[in-house]
């Protein structure tokens, strides 16, 4: 029997409905922010994390590290807290602690877009281009139609390669 949409999906219309649901579901996942900035979704995030994000935005990395470290003492497995701490370490220039913290965050939630992008950035700062490219490939799998984190990391890897 020849292959046709009717043979495998009941009707072509059923196939289109299924494809639409898959695309709509993926867009809803891809469009969600990986990490809210200090002003976004603050009601859903702990005060310490919101304050740490604000400190990072103001380049007060020591304050951010202090706030998130205190928060993580009470919530040691919080992936958002670990990502914010890793970002604070990275932006302060502490690449080794950034990589360790971001890797730990991914053990809690490997699908976090921002964490994957930040870890890729950290690997670049450490000169580990293959590891950064591995994070980019992972983001490519997570972001079926592309996402800001993927595009930004791709650009940063391109810039790094052009300078080194």
Q: Are residues 80 and 26 in the same domain?
A: no
Q: Are residues 45 and 118 in the same domain?
A: yes
105 with 83: CB under 8 angstroms?
yes
Residues 25-59: tens digit of each pLDDT: 444 443 333 444 444 455 688 999 999 999 999 99
Its pTM stands at 0.74
What angle, 0 to 180 degrees and rounded to 10, lies between the N-to-C axes of helices 79-92 and 61-74? 160
Average pLDDT over residues 3-17: 42
Residues 72-84: tens digit of each pLDDT: 999 999 999 999 9
For residue 84, how far is the Cα from the chain centroid? 11
Report how many domains make up the chain.
2
Q: Are residues 24 and 85 in the same domain?
A: no
pLDDT at residue 15 in the model: 44
Q: pLDDT band at 3, cuts 50/70/90? A: very low
- Identify the CATH number of the domain in which residue 141 sits: 1.25.40.10
DSSP classification of residue 44: G
Residue 4 has pLDDT above 80, yes or no: no
The tokens for 46 are 């702990």
Residues 36-45: tens digit of each pLDDT: 444 445 568 8
Average pLDDT over residues 78-104: 97
pLDDT at residue 99 in the model: 98
Q: Are residues 113 and 41 in the same domain?
A: yes
pLDDT at residue 47 in the model: 95
Please give the residue range of the domain that contains residue 19: 1-31
Q: Are residues 154 and 104 in the same domain?
A: yes
Quote the CA–CA distance of 91 and 100 in Å, as a whole number. 14
Residues 112-162: tens digit of each pLDDT: 999 999 999 999 999 999 999 999 999 999 998 889 999 999 999 999 999
Q: Are residues 62 and 133 in the same domain?
A: yes
């Amino acid at each position: 029997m020849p292959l046709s949409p009717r043979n495998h999906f009941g009707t072509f219309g059923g196939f289109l409905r299924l494809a639409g649901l898959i695309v709509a579901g993926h867009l809803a996942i891809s469009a969600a922010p990986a990490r809210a900035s200090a002003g976004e979704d603050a009601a859903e995030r702990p005060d310490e994390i919101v304050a740490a994000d604000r400190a990072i935005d103001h380049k007060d990395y020591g304050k951010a590290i202090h706030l998130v470290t205190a928060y993580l003492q009470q919530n040691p497995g919080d992936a958002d807290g670990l990502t914010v701490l890793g970002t604070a370490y990275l932006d302060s220039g502490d690449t080794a602690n950034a990589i360790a913290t971001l890797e730990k965050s991914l053990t809690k939630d490997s699908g976090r877009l921002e964490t994957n992008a930040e870890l890729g950035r950290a690997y670049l700062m450490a000169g580990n281009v293959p590891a950064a490219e591995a994070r980019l490939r992972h983001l490519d799998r997570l972001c079926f139609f592309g996402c800001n984190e993927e595009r930004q990391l791709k650009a940063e890897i391109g810039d790094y390669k052009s300078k080194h």
